[in-house]
Structure 1
Amino acid sequence: MLVSEFMLQQTQVARVTPRWEAWIRRWPTPADLAAAPPAEAVRAWDRLGYPRRALWLHRAASAMVERHGGEVPRELDELLALPGVGPYTARAVAAFAFGERHPVVDTNTRRVIARAVLGHGHPGPPSTTRDLAAMSSLLPVADAAARTFNAAAMELGATVCVARAPACDRCPIAAQCAWRAAGYPDHEGPRAPRQARFEGSDRQVRGLVMRELRATHRPVARGELASIWPDAEQLDRAIETLVGDGLAVVGDDGLTLPAA
């Protein structure tokens, strides 16, 4: 489950499923992944986006081998101590994989709470402390019931209480929804920031550079990369950030994926 949570961060399920299946076939345990070079993890990540997640997942696998006998830990503090594992991922694994009672909050859950409980059409900017406290106050006491509640809130937000055109006529909690009871008032407060446009962004250029590095097992010279993007300054900036993130390594002959 830890692999799927890494992959699903800001990525749709339909894109993740085939990549997750291939990943698990190749590296079914943390020890299998830790034994592979980081470059192979980045290559296997392919075009899922945000390839730093592949490096963090590889580092997390290595940490599990070193600290936990190659097993995914179940305690929240131990999960949070793994490289690349944040509050959401740690709680999702603890709650759904191990059945522990922890609040799990994603974008869909935040929207359901904002509407059904607070009477707002949209959630405000995310706040880990505030969001976890709000969900924790709603969770049933029993571990199994809390796990079901976490999953149900996510599913409700993903399929019924969607951002645009929510299906209120088939919502199972319509009678308890504060937003509906208030007459669906327009949201007047701050909203979560929108993601920056991808086309023409540094993210797009980083992706193009990573595509070239994944496609070969030899160093790629800077001159070879000149043809993939016309803005040399932006290309240099993208390369610099990839090196800074540990996704690319500069050698005498050019750039490569990380070997260790």
Structure 2
Amino acid sequence: MSHRWKALSRTLSALLTAVLGLLALSAPAAAQVSIVPDRVDGGGTQTFAFRLANERAETKSTRLELVFPQNPPVAYVEVAPAQGWTATVRPRPLDPPLHVGGKVIGEVAGTLVFEGGAVAPKQFEQFLVTMGPLPADGRLQFQATQTFANGAVAHWDETTSPTPAITFGSGPAPAPGSVAAQPVQAGGVAAPADEAAPPGEGGSGGLPFALLWGAIGLSLVVIAAVGYQAHRRKAAIAAGEPEPELERAEETQVGAE
């Protein structure tokens, strides 16, 4: 029986190590800046929800800067008011200018900055942004910079993943339950699965962390039970008493006789 307990203990220890490793690797992969929906039919003007999530536990997130891509350019950007936040659209010159509908467009959106508010740890904020005209096909990929109250800064660009982006036109159908597959409300804003939580009160990426910590807790409980059984066996041997398993086996044998 001791060999069985030792094997079980080693297995549970390995499981705990694997879960801790998965937890450590999952944090950097969380999408802290995302766009809903992230896949739409191209053309025209549409509204998107830009989400800023704070996956850190020790500080607030206080600023988000989005850099629009050089190509395709976006000429029109309007941001809905968000309580406590100030949104600033900074243009950049377009050379050569675009001629659209008899108008000459010499400036397009360069950067979009949200500041003045704060996202608490493990919470998110949502900003509604209307943009256009959008390309019929292609991809609108943003560079993002997130600033925290303690001075830390996180960057996402073309070389990092995940990067906030929108895909336009035809392409592979989104997987069921993904951001792109969510239903659309009035105004063109998708309703994510956790929409029941108001902006600033929901959690982005909370479910994976809950599952991982639950697995860790279960592993610790089982390992503690194994340790307790081992302690009982050692105490019984020290007192000259038979181990519980052996005692039960002897009782069963006597009964059979």
TM tier, shorter chain? under 0.3
User: Going by fraction, where is helix more abundant, 1 or 2?
Assistant: 1
Structure-1-length-normalised TM-score: 0.24
Larger Rg: 2
Greater strand share, structure number: 2
Higher relative contact order structure (alpha carbons within 8 Å, sequence separation ≥ 6): 2
